[in-house]
Amino acid sequence: MSSASQNQAAWLTAVKAYPLEVGPAPMPTPEGTDVVILVHSAAINPADPAVQRLGIVVEADKYPYVLGTDVAGIVHSVGPDQTRFKTGERVVALGLASLHKDSKYGGFQLYSVADAKALVKIPDHVSFNEGCVLPLGLCTAAYSLFEKRSTYPSRVETSPTGKVLLVWGGASSLRGYTVAATSSTKNFGLLREIGAEYVFDYNKDGVVDDIGAPLQCAVIAGQLEGRKHVGTVRPPGFPPLKDWPEGIEVSHCASTHILHSEVGPAIWGAWLEGALEDGTMLCRPPYEVVGQGLEEVQKAMDIMGKGVSGKKLVVEIVH
């Protein structure tokens, strides 16, 4: 597909409209510190088919609408107040159409506007397909892990603390922590690759007892005193989760929350670029290319809607 300065998008034309319609879109002009990206690769997230199927998140007056939150590409132009990014640089960004309530920030288009607060340069050894799997998952996890803390990831090497972090239904690699994670057995290799020392099958009867085995997760017991906080991605408006043990604080964590927090600049500004360069931060899960061009976005969303595990679906928008 041509990368000429003429925009096109995969439009969600109305509430629950199917399929997406590929058509012309306004060519964006960056304002302030915003950056316009020529999108090379976009990843699909479970929220994309959910928004289409259920008619949630997008306000009625915002249709037609452009979905897409994970993108990678090349800086096409920058706003008059932007000093950090330059035309031609390779970047990944979190698409923020839902936050700004404006489709120009959606990822499923040739030229997408990126908020500089959720934008980072990527090194040459990270491909666009690899990079685009990162933003939404990174933001959600970082906010969940660090919003209630006073410390953030650092470029300074740290020693192990002896503490254990349990990640249920996923994995994370955090310097200073021993990571225990749960997943289906087919994803054990992926979790160990990205730093989990202990991996448990969440489909197994008695998995909670396995996690609590003295030789495997003894330190967890020592962390149960003091403040306890659970971050959940359960969307606002859904019935609240009930029967939480007394003394546990529960809060909703969304990727966009990081932009209103000190966690955002700590991750996107101070840490991420260097971590990608030296391999501290890996672009995981692995990607699978579904197709090329905006016309393939609906196909990728359909596959995602049926359930995908241990990988992220990617469409090469410009190829």
Domain residue ranges of the chain, discontinuous segments joined by +? 8-136+262-316, 139-256
What is the helix (H) or strand (E) element at residue 12, kind and residue range? strand 8-12
What's the CA gap between 106 and 69, in Å, rounded?
A: 7
pLDDT surpasses 70 at 281: yes
Tens of pLDDT, residues 140-190: 888 877 776 666 666 555 555 555 555 555 533 334 456 667 777 877 777
Tens of pLDDT, residues 245-267: 676 666 666 677 777 788 889 89
For every residue of 192-241, which 3-state class applies, written as one string? HHCCEEEEEECCCCCHHHHHCCHHHHHHHHHCCCCCEEEEECCCCCCCCC
> What residues contact residue 23 under an 8 Å CB cut-off, 6+ apart?
8, 9, 11
Tens of pLDDT, residues 187-236: 777 767 766 777 777 788 877 666 665 334 444 444 445 456 566 666 65
Higher local confidence (pLDDT), 85 or 280: 85
> Alpha helices, DSSP H only, in 66-161?
97-100, 128-131, 135-146
What's the CA gap between 99 and 235, in Å, rounded?
A: 14
Report pLDDT for 121: 99
Of the candidates 204, 253, 205, the residue with the CA atom closest to the CA atom of residue 231:
253
Residue 282 · residue 175 · CB < 8 Å:
no
The CA-atom distances, in angstroms, between 257 and each of 150, 160, 210, 262, 281 are 17, 29, 34, 10, 21
Report pLDDT for 189: 74
Higher local confidence (pLDDT), 241 or 188: 188
| φ, ψ of residue 302 in degrees (nearest 5) | -65, -40
Res. 3 pLDDT band, cuts 50 70 90 = very low
Higher local confidence (pLDDT), 120 or 310: 120
Lowest mean pLDDT among 70-84, 214-228, 269-283: 214-228
| Average of per-residue pLDDT values in the chain | 83
| φ, ψ of residue 40 in degrees (nearest 5) | -90, -40
Question: Residue 81: how many CB atoms within 10 A of its CB?
Answer: 11
pLDDT surpasses 80 at 59: yes
Report pLDDT for 206: 74
pLDDT surpasses 80 at 131: yes
Looking at the chain, the whole-number percentage of residues with pLDDT higher than 70 is 71
pLDDT surpasses 70 at 237: no
What's the CA gap between 28 and 112, in Å, rounded?
A: 7
What's the CA gap between 35 and 268, in Å, rounded?
A: 15
Is CATH 3.40.50.720 what the domain over 139-256 is classified as, yes or no? yes
Q: Residue holding tokens 């994803």? A: 187
What's the CA gap between 130 and 39, in Å, rounded?
A: 13
Higher local confidence (pLDDT), 209 or 55: 55
User: 26-37 burial by CB neighbour count: b if 16+ within 10 A, else e?
Assistant: eebebeebbbbb
pTM for this predicted structure: 0.80
Tens of pLDDT, residues 32-52: 999 999 999 999 999 999 999
Tens of pLDDT, residues 16-26: 999 999 999 99
Report pLDDT for 215: 35
Report pLDDT for 150: 61
Superfamily of domain 8-136+262-316: Medium-chain alcohol dehydrogenases, catalytic domain (3.90.180.10)
Report pLDDT for 100: 94
